[in-house]
Amino acid sequence: MIALVRLLVFGFLALSVVYVCLSLYSRSVRRGKLEAEWDEEIKDGDRDAFVKEGMLEYDGSLRRKLILGVYVIPISIISFIIYATNFM
Amino acid sequence: MGYIKWVFWITFWVLVASFFHYTLPQHDVARVSDTYEKRIDFGANSIFWAAADVGNAATTANHDVFFIQTRLTNDQVMVYRNEDTGWGWPPYFKFDTSNLQAEASDLKSGADAPQWVVIKHYGWRNEFMSIFPNAVSVRAVDDPNVRIIPWLNIGILIFFFAFVWAVWVRWRRFREARIDPVLEDAGDSIANTSDGVKKWFGSWRK
């Protein structure tokens, strides 16, 4: 049982580090794209408001929720290995 | 400097290769001649043995281990241990040790009427340390010359080397952009005092 707890705790911590890094990176990429879009195409009105609106849209987007795959994929792989090793 | 660098990288890659050779699954075609269990008192070789089966007390100093005795197709003998990996390393998540032992016992056969089996296992057999590869699964096959393509190992190794290459390319670009110019400056400013120092910096740049 100790081994399972250890796997869960350290796995969760490691994946959380990946999750936080990945979501910060994804946010910065989206922000950069919005800023580039304003600089090259719009060039009119409030730049900060445009970027802020775009980021609010990003917060509700599917792309952001896909980052949760960081947790889902390893759990699915482990479940499959358990099934393949013991029951297949 | 050159020698130290070579020794370091050769040691590093030998360690990486032995890690994968120990951990990744391999397949042997063999004939199960017998199965048994015996108590093992772990000593210096304890790192090559698994903990007690999942759910049992983990603090005991020793426990009984299942073994599978086989003869390989090349007429060599091979003995496998059969232990739970449980939730630990390597990540086979094997909990069905007793079931596997039952399957292996069921496939026992003599030399006159051989029943060939493919044994998936990881680990090493070493007589001097009394360590055994851990069997993960057995399945019966008709033909001892069955061809087994290790797709999983191919996939994992491709993924690993792609990762190493990605890190290496980024590190090289970073070094060319940020570290080399600094070292060149430093090298220029002390070039007058010592040629040897400049050479030393040069050895790091290659």
Specify the pLDDT at position B194. Answer: 59
Specify the pLDDT at position B189. Answer: 64
Q: How far is CA B137 from CA A56, B36, B46, B133, in A?
A: 51, 16, 23, 12
Specify the pLDDT at position B46. Answer: 83
Give residue-wise pLDDT tens across range B13-31: 999 999 999 999 999 999 9
From the list A4, A85, A86, the residue facing B87 with the nearest CB is A4
Length of chain A: 88
Split at pLDDT 50, 70, 90, the class of B44 is: confident
Cβ-in-10-Å burial (0-12, 13-18, 19+) of B71 comes to: middle
Q: Residue A78: its chain B contacts at CB < 8 A?
A: 91, 93
Nearest CA in chain B to A85: B94
CATH of B25-149, one of 3.30.720, 2.50.20, 2.40.50, 2.170.120: 2.40.50
Note which residues in 20-79 of chain A have CB less than 8 A from chain B.
Answer: 78
The ipTM of this complex is 0.74
Q: Residue A12: its chain B contacts at CB < 8 A?
A: none
Give residue-wise pLDDT tens across range B77-111: 999 999 988 888 889 999 999 999 999 999 999 98
Q: How far is CA A12 from CA A1, A80, A82, B189, in A?
A: 16, 18, 18, 50
Q: Do A86 and B54 make contact, defined as CB atoms within 8 angstroms?
A: no
- Beta strand spans in B42-158 (E): 62-72, 77-82, 116-122, 134-140
Q: Are B35 and B62 in contact (CB under 8 A)?
A: no
From the list A2, A6, A81, the residue facing B91 with the nearest CB is A81
Q: Round to whole Å and give the CA distance between A30 and A53.
A: 12
Q: Are B94 and B84 in contact (CB under 8 A)?
A: yes
Q: Residue A75: its chain B contacts at CB < 8 A?
A: none
Give per-10-residue mean pLDDT for chain A (88 aa): 87 95 93 89 82 88 90 94 90
Can you tell me whether residue B131 is helix, strand or coil? strand
For B177-206, letters b (16+ CB in 10 Å) and e give: eeeeeeeeeebeeeeeeeeeebeebeeeee
Reading the block at residue B128, the tokens are 């001097």
Beta B77-82 vs B62-72: how paired, if at all? antiparallel
Domain ranges of chain B: 2-7+155-205, 25-149
Give residue-wise pLDDT tens across range B112-171: 999 999 999 999 999 998 999 999 999 999 988 889 999 999 999 999 999 999 999 999
Q: Round to whole Å and give the CA distance between B201 and B180.
A: 10
> What are B's interface residues with A at a Cβ cutoff of 8 A?
51, 54-55, 58, 86-88, 91-96, 99, 136-137
Q: Residue A86: its chain B contacts at CB < 8 A?
A: 93-96, 99
